[in-house]
Amino acid sequence: MSDTTTEPSTATKLVAEALGTFVLVFGSIGTALFAADFGVSENGTSLGVGFVGVALAFGLTLLAAIYTWGPVSGGHFNPAVTFGLAAAGRFAWKDAPGYIVAQIVGGALGTTLIVLIGLFGPANWLSTAQDGGFASNGFGEHSPGGFGLGAAIVAEILFTAIFVLVILGVTHAKRGAGNFAGLAIGLTLTFIHLASIPIDNTSVNPARSIATAIYGGGDALLQLWVFLVFPLVGAVLAGFLHRALFEPKVAPPAQREARVR
């Protein structure tokens, strides 16, 4: 295929963001709902993939989306990433609303198709999944490990900040990881889920949280605000921190010369 340097249109970028977020949500939440707990075999061994499998599903689906559509849109697939990149000066704030809408639409499509599959599943599968919160994020009695609101707030700020700092580091034009950036980002999302699924089912991505809360019932919707606000807080803090520490503005040559004199 011939190479082209033509900049993708805004519409193409938004479609890429929607598709990437769709793959992320459909693959990872599908793993959580279909395969995480699949009972035990006759000899008592687990047939499900558990927390480790779900964490890997998040990392692997993000990895696939980054290498597939990242070259088109930049591969955000997450409103927190969009906010973090904008805060770091890597993305225009004026383009953020369109990206976020596309991400939310892609994520909602992912869980909607999971519901469609569930309609043709075993008796009561879909109602059981929805009664269980549909893999939504939550705290208190809706936390897998019984962690409260404070724990969810701190976890979402810290883990999202770590995620965004890694993204900003490995995608740097001069100091970044080049073609291995997607691998580093996917593995980072995996370890974040390994550490924080027991706390609040891990958000670090408001589009993912919205997608599951739509079908997770009233409690999931009531607690959703935490997983909208605090991932964005963590992302913006990370963006400003990265910009201040690692990408300080360099004075123009004339100003540097004047300072020397």
Q: Give the list of residues 6+ apart from residue 238 with CB closer than 8 angstroms, or none.
A: 84, 87, 88, 160, 161, 162, 163, 164, 165, 168
Distance, in Å, from the CA atom of 212 to the CA atom of 12, rounded to the nearest integer, reads 26
Under 8 Å between Cβ of 196 and 155: yes
pLDDT greater at residue 5 or residue 235: 235
All structural domains of the chain, each given as residue ranges with its CATH number in brackets, are 10-244 (1.20.1080.10)
pLDDT at 251 over 60: no
Number of residues written out for the chain: 261
Band (pLDDT 50/70/90 cuts) for residue 176 is confident
Distance, in Å, from the CA atom of 210 to the CA atom of 107, rounded to the nearest integer, reads 8
Instruction: For the chain, give the mean pLDDT.
Output: 92
Q: Please give the average per-residue pLDDT across 219-243, as a whole number.
A: 98
pLDDT at 170 over 90: yes
pLDDT of residue 14: 98
Considering the chain, what percentage of its residues have pLDDT values greater than 70?
92
3-class DSSP state of 46? strand
pLDDT of residue 255: 47
Considering the chain, what percentage of its residues have pLDDT values greater than 90?
84
- Retrieve residue 99's tokens: 């990206």
pLDDT at 44 over 80: no
- Retrieve residue 235's tokens: 């992302």
pLDDT of residue 148: 98
Which pairs from 183-189 meet CB under 8 Å and 24+ separation?
183/63, 185/62, 185/63, 185/66, 186/59, 186/60, 186/62, 186/63, 186/66, 187/59, 188/59, 188/162, 188/163, 189/58, 189/59, 189/62, 189/163
Under 8 Å between Cβ of 145 and 163: no
Q: How far apart are the first and last CA of the chain?
A: 55
Weakest-pLDDT range from 57-66, 81-90, 247-256: 247-256
pLDDT at 258 over 60: no
Q: Which of 75, 78, 96, 98 is nearest to 16 (CA)?
A: 75
pLDDT of residue 1: 34
Tell me 91's DSSP state.
S
pLDDT at 260 over 60: no
Under 8 Å between Cβ of 139 and 223: yes
Band (pLDDT 50/70/90 cuts) for residue 253 is low
pLDDT of residue 47: 77
User: Crossing angle for the helix pair 79-87 and 206-216, nearest 10 degrees?
Assistant: 160
